[in-house]
A and B are shown apart, each in its own frame.
Chain A
Amino acid sequence: MYRYDEFDAALVRERIAEFSDQVDRRSSGALTEDEFKPLRLMNGVYLQLHAYMLRVAVPYGVISSRQMRRLAHVARTYDKGYGHFTTRTNIQFNWPALQDLPAILSDLAEVEMHAIQTSGNCIRNVTTDVFAGVAADEIEDPRPWCEIVRQWSTIHPEFSFLPRKFKIAIVGAPKDRAAVRTHDVGLQIVRGEDGQTAFRVFVGGGQGRLPHIAQEIAPAVPGQSLLAYLTAILRAYNLLGRRDNIHKARIKILVAAIGIDAFRDEVERQFAILRQEDLRIPDEELARIQAYFTPPPFADLPATSPAYDAARRLNPEFARFTRSNLREHKQAGYGAVIVSLKPIGGVPGDITAAQMDVVADLAARFSFHEVRASYEQNLVLPHVRLEDVHAVWSRLREAGLATANADLATDIIACPGLDYCSLANARSIPVAQALSHQLADAALLEKLGPVRINISGCINACGHHHVGHIGVLGVDRKGEEYYQITVGGSPDEQAALGEIVGRSLPAEEVAPAIARALDRYLEIRNDGELFIDTVRRLGADPFRTAIYELTDAAA
């Protein structure tokens, strides 16, 4: 993985010194909250309902075992013993004291982590496919490109005060496992006509209050020109984007307002007048960065492992885990193990310090010291020998990290909601928990197959509800928690926003209503048809009927 050079290390150190001074001045009263707020936000510090909250960047979701141990140390020493992985593959600590923040950031800097640009109207943490460098359908590993974009965008003076925050995601395969079309800019690696790396570029996606699916602006921007093209997009946005109304300031609003063609014209105009030579990525630099992401020293293994096959035959529970939580690896004899942060009745994305240590140990022993964070709020051990999967599973199971539900109905994405968040209308976590209990039966889960259920506590959509196959949005009705349900959203290469099925429901009715919708799916699906495909074939109506069945009968 990427290692800091002296510039990175110096930059992070200087920022901590600066922030440390700001914290001191805030503590002494020399800075007011209004003065301090923009400064703390530049360092990932929010003030939430119960405490300060620190958001730590996990660049493109890649974590070493050493970093994971350090996160455990932070959770244990400065927090209440846990952290929360978010849909932007960052980790949030919910309880740090103001005076501890510089120490936390110093501890993190020692393992090359920071909280810069995890908040504010700048280019945020770049996200990618959690199976980067693993998936067989990959044209090219997107991580070196993520790193290039990260370096270019970090403390970029021109793009530090954008009209609004800016999120970029990159995938290296035609299958979109990073929801790129929900981002301000989504990049998909393709082969250009010359056979070289190029990028299909999508622009103007975003969730939140006025959700939009990104539109294609360019089919194949050559890799060398990527930074120039991104610069042109950001210049066009910086110039034309609205700054008068925070709800209309995202690039999605601009693209929707003037149309993709007019926006493309403006980007091309900007592109033409850029000093392209300054932004061209030199071949040596690309090669230097790519070298950080060369595959680990895999052993030459046969494609199958008799020990693994025998363990699957002997242990149905293990076999089930491998069906749901093990993904194919392009290297023969290896697999990628999904560590579920969605135990039945748990808090989606939460992980205790002890669990972090377990994951760190397993990564060190079995996965070349590497862990990944997925936007679905799970972790992945990306390179595990098939013959080791059983040992990994046993240890995960003891630690409560082996729920066999990756991409299944209880693999729920949920934001912190009103239990933590000062912007929330309603709680998200208890609804996720109720649903998870309702659908806990492992055989049922497998029968249902992949279903993405996403929950947000308000319209900001941190829980991706718009693009859940089933989405749940907390709304406030005269001080009571209600939930609006959507059906038919999709985050992937067939991205779509869900359709609101009808009036919102009180908390206790949400899980049973969704369970009825899933039962209906089992009745009406064609052989082998996935939930989302049944919705695409038949529309939302059958599910609407199921969702309101009992409530209508009672009314």
Chain B
Amino acid sequence: MKLLTANRLNDGRVIYLGEADAAVEAIDAARILDADAAEAALTLAQSRPAVFVNPYLIEVEDRAPSGRDRLKERIRSVGPTVGHSLDFAARNETP
């Protein structure tokens, strides 16, 4: 199965295509796509360049990235695994 992901235009953050074609930040809210739906999702995202920058499809099993780039996609979905951005998240601030 697949998910559609991209970076969001206004702040570069990682986004996924969710239900009702919304752009969502949480991978858990991403819509799981079969092969046909995936192609349609890609076309849709490409037609919305004001939101989706560089959209592409990733392979998942139960929303967990599973393809060759699984580690990169996991890090994209959760943020850096180390460092000050985690402290920032812990302080619960918004940038």
Is A bound to B?
Answer: yes
Chain A residues engaging chain B, CB cutoff 8 angstroms: 26-29, 32-33, 47-52, 78-82, 94-95, 97-99, 347, 350, 352, 418-420, 422, 424, 427, 429-430, 433, 478-481
Q: Assuming A79-B95, A81-B88, A97-B95, is B14 touching A479 (CB within 8 A)?
A: no
Give chain B nearest CB distance to A270 CB in angstroms. 41
Q: Which residues of B contact A422 (CB under 8 A)?
A: 72
Q: Which residues of A contact B50 (CB under 8 A)?
A: 27-29
Interface flags for B55-70 (1: CB within 8 Å of A; 0: not) read 0000000000001111
B84 touches A350 (CB 8 A): yes
Q: Select B82's contact among A78, A79, A99, A419, beta carbons within 8 Å.
A: A419
With the chains together, A147 CA to B75 CA distance in Å? Answer: 40
Q: Which residues of B contact A50 (CB under 8 A)?
A: 12-14, 76, 79-80
With the chains together, A26 CA to B12 CA distance in Å? Answer: 13
Q: Which residues of B contact A33 (CB under 8 A)?
A: 49, 53-54
Q: Which 7 A-B pairs have CB atoms at the shortest separation, nearest pair first?
A: A80-B88, A51-B12, A419-B80, A52-B12, A82-B84, A97-B11, A347-B83
Q: Which residues of A contact B69 (CB under 8 A)?
A: 479
Q: Which residues of B contact A81 (CB under 8 A)?
A: 84, 87-88, 93
B75 touches A419 (CB 8 A): yes
Give chain B nearest CB distance to A229 CB in angstroms. 41
B interface residues, how many (CB within 8 angstroms) = 30
A80 touches B12 (CB 8 A): no
Q: Identify the closest chain A residue to B86 (Cβ).
A: A80
A418 touches B13 (CB 8 A): no
A352 touches B84 (CB 8 A): yes
Chain B residues engaging chain A, CB cutoff 8 angstroms: 7, 9-14, 49-50, 53-54, 67-72, 75-76, 79-85, 87-88, 93, 95
Q: Which residues of A contact B54 (CB under 8 A)?
A: 33, 47
Q: Assuming A29-B50, A419-B83, A427-B81, is B68 touching A52 (CB within 8 A)?
A: no
Query: What 18 additional pairs, Cβ within 8 angstroms, besides A98-B11, A427-B81, A429-B83?
Result: A29-B49, A33-B53, A47-B7, A50-B12, A51-B13, A80-B88, A80-B93, A81-B87, A95-B85, A347-B83, A350-B84, A419-B80, A419-B83, A427-B82, A429-B80, A430-B82, A479-B70, A480-B71
With the chains together, A424 CA to B71 CA distance in Å? Answer: 11
B83 touches A350 (CB 8 A): yes
With the chains together, A158 CA to B68 CA distance in Å? Answer: 42
With the chains together, A81 CA to B94 CA distance in Å? Answer: 11
What are 8 A-B residue pairs whose CB atoms fall within 8 Å in the complex? A27-B9, A33-B53, A49-B75, A80-B93, A98-B10, A418-B71, A424-B72, A481-B71
With the chains together, A430 CA to B81 CA distance in Å? Answer: 8
Q: Assuming A79-B95, A429-B83, is B12 touching A418 (CB within 8 A)?
A: no
A80 touches B10 (CB 8 A): no
Give chain A nearest CB distance to B69 CB in angstroms. 7
Q: Which residues of A contact B88 (CB under 8 A)?
A: 80-82
B12 touches A478 (CB 8 A): no
Q: Which residues of B contact A79 (CB under 8 A)?
A: 95
Q: Select B76's contact among A26, A49, A427, A481, beta carbons within 8 Å.
A: A49
B49 touches A418 (CB 8 A): no
Q: Select B10's contact among A27, A427, A480, beta carbons within 8 Å.
A: A27
Q: Which residues of A contact B72 (CB under 8 A)?
A: 49, 418, 422, 424
Q: Assuming A27-B10, A47-B12, A47-B53, is B81 touching A78 (CB within 8 A)?
A: no
B12 touches A347 (CB 8 A): no
Q: Assuming A47-B12, A94-B85, A433-B82, is B75 touching A80 (CB within 8 A)?
A: no
Q: Identify the closest chain A residue to B81 (Cβ).
A: A419
With the chains together, A350 CA to B87 CA distance in Å? Answer: 13
B82 touches A429 (CB 8 A): yes
A479 touches B71 (CB 8 A): yes
B80 touches A420 (CB 8 A): yes
Give chain B nearest CB distance to A209 CB in angstroms. 20
With the chains together, A257 CA to B61 CA distance in Å? Answer: 48
Q: Identify the closest chain B residue to A351 (Cβ).
A: B84
A32 touches B49 (CB 8 A): yes
Q: Which residues of B contact A94 (CB under 8 A)?
A: 85
Q: Which residues of B contact A32 (CB under 8 A)?
A: 49
Q: Which residues of B contact A97 (CB under 8 A)?
A: 10-12, 95
Q: Which residues of A contact B82 (CB under 8 A)?
A: 347, 419, 427, 429-430, 433
Give chain B nearest CB distance to A321 CB in angstroms. 24
Give chain A nearest CB distance to B50 CB in angstroms. 5
Most buried by B among A33, A51, A420: A51
